[in-house]
Amino acid sequence: MTPQFRRLLEKRGIEDIANFLNPSIKNLEPPSSLSGVDKAAEEIFPFIYDARKIVVFGDYDCDGICATAVMVRVLRKLGADCEAFLPERMGEGYGMTSASLDRMLREHPDVALVITVDNGINSIDEVERLKKMGVSVVVTDHHLPGEKLPNCTIVNPSVASTEALTAICGAAVAFMLANRIVDISKSKGKYTGGKFGGEALVLAGLATVTDVMPLKGNNRILVYEALRRFNQFATEGLRQLVRLARGDFNAPEKEEKNPTVKDFGFLIGPRINAPGRMATGDVALKLVLCDDNKLASSVALEVDAHNSERKKIELEMMNEAMEKVVPNAPAQVIDLPNGKPGVAGIVASRILENLGSAAPVCVIAGTHGSARSPEGFNIRDAFEACSEYLERFGGHAAAAGFSVKDGKVDAFRQALCEYTQNNFIREENKELSYDIVLSPNEITKEFYNEILSMEPFGEGNAEPLFKLENVKINEAKVFGANEKHLSFYVCDYRAVWWNHGEIAGKLSNSQLIDIYFSIKSSDYSRKGVELVVKSIPKVMVI
């Protein structure tokens, strides 16, 4: 192990180096370590083998769809009479609401047990209504609870959990519960078939990435194993979607490589999310569950068409929203009466990025809104403080959904701005966060290969960022279409700075600069690796 790699691991606080660099499914937390799993599995068990109708009540985003698929596939393989139900974002809102429950009961009047996945922790009244009707309920979720909990069996790491499981997604919760149900079925002699946990593992790993969970501990293992085993265990629907997203749709004979974290986050996830944003998530769930080659091809095309439509509407809403941004406001509350509710969250994320995380951003489309929050500000707590103006809200510290009471948008905006002004401290001129300072001779191919052993990178385990101090640059020049990008040499290493060709004239061979960068392999560099520049403070303020 190189000294610089050891410094990097120390800076990240990684003490159990062997397990971190060699994630193994054997080290996953056992299902029973998640509070409520044993009780929930025992409660669900008799409904499976008494053939009483079970409805898995899911959600329309990627995590919710993956969680629904995990539970439905496992229950059906155990022989359960099981159906899936997804709410409609536009007409019914997120999770189990009065409206979505009404439709579920119309479609499944014989339901005996409802299992929520990725929702339900704040559906107090709806759970009570089901129980009064004689319907049993098990809530599995990972979102933050309110002051009151549903009066039923609950599996939610945000309510009670070991430290190792405090930040897992809804599909990971479903994965652990599904495994425990299988264990109980085997122990009681009800199931003697083969293993089918691989399918659930792939779905849980995919959702962990798309729901932006920290890639540490249990989550790191889930994602690592899901990527490694994707082509072995993923449904045909998921494989077809990957081919389509990569442009290999018409070349199935081409050797399939396992996807990467970026494929999960930027190719697969947005496409699975798209149908729920534009219409209903049912077609995405159909794809995720599909094992028929011919059907998977047609459904993948349908899902991709929804994604294309989503991109078009997103651009239109983004342009309108940016015109309504209030400069230097403590919080942005942007009302788009004709916007698509399913796209509001994406637009809020884009605006937050454009504003440099200077303020929380809420985008209201029609009657529903989505919010995104800068680091260090809990948007759900803010909504709690402004709840007199809201019909409903829920979510995480960094992202949440809500609906505003009729005629109260302006009052809500003022209340949120006041709360933010008093509770969000912005750090001015903050230095770009990096891992360690390197000397030029420490940038080696060996070190790069060691960095690769830290994958998968993502939330909570970012790709390492380094700093070079007081170095000179040489051979600065632009490249690419419209001379969009910049390259130069520093200490005999090639460096590229994407989308910064316009500042080539600001660089001179005589100046001493600090560079923030990541490292990647390169066939164009004399040393086999090159620097991917993130910032040069003396040249351009971040």
DSSP 331-381: SEEEEETTS-GGGHHHHHHHHHHHTTT-S-EEEEETTEEEEE--TT--HHH
Distance CA 271, CA 266 (A): 9
User: What mean pLDDT do residues 411-434 have?
Assistant: 85
Are residues 90 and 182 part of one domain?
yes
Total number of domains in the chain: 3
pLDDT at 429: 52
In terms of pLDDT, which residue wins out, 263 or 522?
263
Are residues 445 and 367 part of one domain?
no
Q: Which of 192, 209, 225 is the last residue of a domain?
A: 192
Are residues 379 and 441 part of one domain?
no
Does residue 174 carry a pLDDT above 70?
A: yes
CB neighbour list of residue 129: distance below 8 Å, 6 or more residues apart: 101
CATH number at residue 177: 3.90.1640.30
Per mean pLDDT, which of 245-259, 342-356, 422-436, 513-527 is the most reliable? Answer: 342-356
pLDDT at 227: 95
pTM, rounded to two decimals? 0.86
Which amino acid does the sequence have at 415? Answer: A
Confidence band of 358 (pLDDT split at 50, 70, 90): confident
CATH number at residue 480: 2.40.50.460
pLDDT at 541: 39
Assess if residue 316 is contained within a domain.
Answer: no
Q: Which of 158, 176, 192 is the last residue of a domain?
A: 192
Are residues 176 and 72 part of one domain?
yes
pLDDT at 426: 73
Assess if residue 300 is contained within a domain.
Answer: no
User: What mean pLDDT do residues 65-83 have?
Assistant: 96
Instruction: Write the pLDDT tens digit of every residue in 262-315.
Output: 999 999 999 999 999 898 999 999 999 999 999 999 999 999 999 999 999 999
Closest CA to 532 of 474, 475, 471, 486: 486
Which amino acid does the sequence have at 11? Answer: K
pLDDT at 430: 59
Distance of CA 472 to CAs 469, 479, 490, 493, 521, Å? 9, 20, 6, 11, 22
Distance CA 80, CA 209 (A): 29
Q: Which of 364, 397, 423 is the last residue of a domain?
A: 423
Assess if residue 258 is contained within a domain.
Answer: no
pLDDT at 80: 96
Does residue 189 carry a pLDDT above 80?
A: yes
Confidence band of 224 (pLDDT split at 50, 70, 90): very high
Name the residue range of residue 393's domain. 324-423
Confidence band of 250 (pLDDT split at 50, 70, 90): very low
pLDDT at 248: 60
Does residue 328 carry a pLDDT above 80?
A: yes
Assess if residue 277 is contained within a domain.
Answer: no
Are residues 142 and 45 part of one domain?
yes
pLDDT at 168: 95
Rg (CA), the chain: 25
CB neighbour list of residue 122: distance below 8 Å, 6 or more residues apart: 95, 143, 145, 146, 394
Does residue 446 carry a pLDDT above 90?
A: yes
Beta bridge partners of 54: 82, 113
Which of helix, strand or coil describes residue 436? strand
Token output for 82: 């099981």
Are residues 122 and 57 part of one domain?
yes
Assess if residue 272 is contained within a domain.
Answer: no
Sheet holding 466-471, edge to edge: 436-437, 466-471, 513-521, 529-535, 493-497, 485-490, 473-479
| % of the chain exceeding 90 in pLDDT | 73
Distance of CA 84 to the CA centre of its chain: 22
pLDDT at 325: 95
Token output for 495: 């460096």
User: What mean pLDDT do residues 379-394 have?
Assistant: 92
Are residues 358 and 501 part of one domain?
no
Confidence band of 431 (pLDDT split at 50, 70, 90): low
pLDDT at 336: 96
Does residue 468 carry a pLDDT above 70?
A: yes
Closest CA to 370 of 362, 359, 380: 362
Does residue 99 carry a pLDDT above 60?
A: yes
Give me the chain's average pLDDT, please: 91
Token output for 200: 């659930």
Confidence band of 249 (pLDDT split at 50, 70, 90): very low
Assess if residue 148 is contained within a domain.
Answer: yes
CB neighbour list of residue 102: distance below 8 Å, 6 or more residues apart: none
In terms of pLDDT, which residue wins out, 506 or 443?
443
Distance CA 136, CA 127 (A): 9
pLDDT at 477: 87
pLDDT at 94: 83
Are residues 446 and 413 part of one domain?
no
Lowest mean pLDDT: which of 134-138, 343-347, 484-488? 484-488
Are residues 164 and 122 part of one domain?
yes
Are residues 457 and 373 part of one domain?
no
Assess if residue 460 is contained within a domain.
Answer: yes
Which of helix, strand or coil describes residue 475? strand
Which of helix, strand or coil describes residue 6? helix
In terms of pLDDT, which residue wins out, 529 or 247?
529
Are residues 529 and 454 part of one domain?
yes
Assess if residue 291 is contained within a domain.
Answer: no
Distance CA 87, CA 67 (A): 14
Are residues 188 and 44 part of one domain?
yes
CATH number at residue 390: 3.10.310.30
In terms of pLDDT, which residue wins out, 236 or 162?
236
